[in-house]
Chain A
Amino acid sequence: MATFQSVSSVLQPVKMATRAAMFTFSKFRYFPILKHGVAKFSVSSNLLNASALEPGYSRDPGEVFFKENVQTLLERLTGRDCDKVFHNRKLGERLEPPKYELLTQAEVDHVMAEMEVKLKRKLQMPPLLKERDPIKKIYSFNPELQGFDDSKYVFINISQGITNRNREVVVRDPNGVLREASWEERQRMCQIYFPVPGRKINVPKMFEEGNIQSCLDRDEFEFVLDRACAQFDPDDPEYISVTRKTYDFVDENTKYTSLRPTRHFGPMVLHLVLSKKMDNLLFHFINSKDIDAAANLVRLFHTVADDTSPTEVDEFQLIENYIQGPALKKPALELAWQSFLEIEKQRREVHSQQNNASN
């Protein structure tokens, strides 16, 4: 286990952030970590930025998500269930049976190190960002060009060496205005000329109102979230609305186990903490006797709320203080906590009895 520790400390999320590399993996797309892009969004008193605060977020999610301590807490909450992370996905590709090989210890360590890297990639969390502001830039207005054509001309710069985020896409309207393309136009054009696997040119019907609900009713959370990741950018208003709908649905029906080992669990937890809905999750953790996770959740709450890391070392005390203090669903949580403590006490008694008996 010592080898795992050293490898994970090397592959810190901060190093990935500074690289801002584009990860593409077969059908599902991973995000460049928009570290420098977020700096532009961070502090502004613009009225438009209030849209992210409307659904009840206490803070700008982009600020909070990329902090190192938040990232480590989210990673710890996600855990690393290798079986579930690497499970066979039904993507219409040919499934291969598992291979069994005879290896020396050194080879095993080598393979394990490779698996660590793959695990980190598969568990890279899609960022939680504010909605992007609509593009409004106008380059020139030439009313003398009215009548040259009935349709718009959309120009895209297909030079090599620029990312799709920075690519110049301009539109010449029939009224003679030369403007920058809107986000939807820009995404469509980039997908036509630089296709990303798993992404459709027009938004799939699955993401429309009624259709998402039917997907969620069938418990297909991972599928919806993965497809949203592939289709949209993380600051796309559609992506934010789809993911929020999914997270809220999962929270209301407490179906956390299906999302627990996936890369979406971290953003979901952060969303719940920011919108002050984390009590259901805490209840779930206490009931499933996962005290580490419960303690990490409370630590995350404190980090997000006022940037403090709580001073209690004892996890039980930490959770008690939270339940007595900032919790919103006190009755249910207290009940669950009391019953857990009793079970824990009985377990310790039985354990000590067994020890005495064996001695």
Chain B
Amino acid sequence: MASAIPTFTKIGKVIRLNKHGCTNRPFYHIVVQKTKDNFDGPVIEQVGSYDAMPNSQNEKLVAVNFERVQYWLAQGAGMSNPVAQLLGLSGFLPNHPQTLIQSWKNRREPPRERKLQPIKGIAPPLDNPKI
């Protein structure tokens, strides 16, 4: 089923991540937009959000309005790669091949760790439990 839905289209409407937030603190809106529009340009509908920074419980929060996503997919909207991956992780779509490839690569060679220094007096460093 996933192969029938184009995950990238050159024209038309697309469901993708728009990066908001600020430096060193990304926060994505899952939006439906025309492909040619900028990330800060007109948005047809915001259909969810994705917080890329894990919280104190080591969770990344993703809110998706699945009803509207279904509607837009039925209307012929495309999906960007990251959105398709997220929806695959959520169980709405089958697992994206890119997720499988990335998992395999990470297991073979762990990803480079960025040296995040704790900001004194404000937040402790992130706890990164390995699998």
Contacts and interface: CB of A to CB of B under 8 A. Distances in A.
Interface of A: 139-140, 142, 144-160, 168, 170-172, 174-175, 178, 185, 189, 192-193
Contacts of A150: 54, 58, 128-131
Interface in B46-77: 48, 54, 57-68
Most central of B54, B64, B90, B106 by chain A CB within 10 Å = B90
Contacts of B104: 144, 147
B7 to A, nearest CB: 17
A147 B58 contact: no
Given A152-B58, A156-B61, A178-B91, 19 more contacts: A142-B95, A144-B103, A145-B103, A146-B131, A147-B103, A147-B131, A148-B103, A148-B106, A149-B60, A150-B54, A151-B58, A153-B62, A153-B86, A155-B64, A155-B91, A157-B67, A171-B59, A172-B89, A178-B89
**What range describes how many residues of B lie at the interface?**
20 to 34
B73 to A, nearest CB: 14
Contact of B67 (A154, A156, A159): A159
Contacts of A170: 90-91
A152 B59 contact: yes
Contacts of B129: 150
Most central of A145, A151, A157, A193 by chain B CB within 10 Å = A151
Contact of A153 (B59, B65, B102, B103): B59
Contacts of B91: 139-140, 155, 170, 172, 178
Contact of A158 (B59, B65, B103, B106): B65
Contacts of B60: 149, 151-154
Contacts of B128: 150
* 7 closest A-B pairs by CB: A147-B106, A151-B54, A159-B67, A155-B90, A147-B107, A148-B103, A147-B103
A193 B50 CA distance: 12
A344 to B, nearest CB: 62
B115 to A, nearest CB: 16
Most central of B63, B64, B100, B102 by chain A CB within 10 Å = B63
Contacts of B103: 144-148
A153 B58 CA distance: 9
B65 A157 contact: yes
Interface string B86-111: 10011100010001101110110000
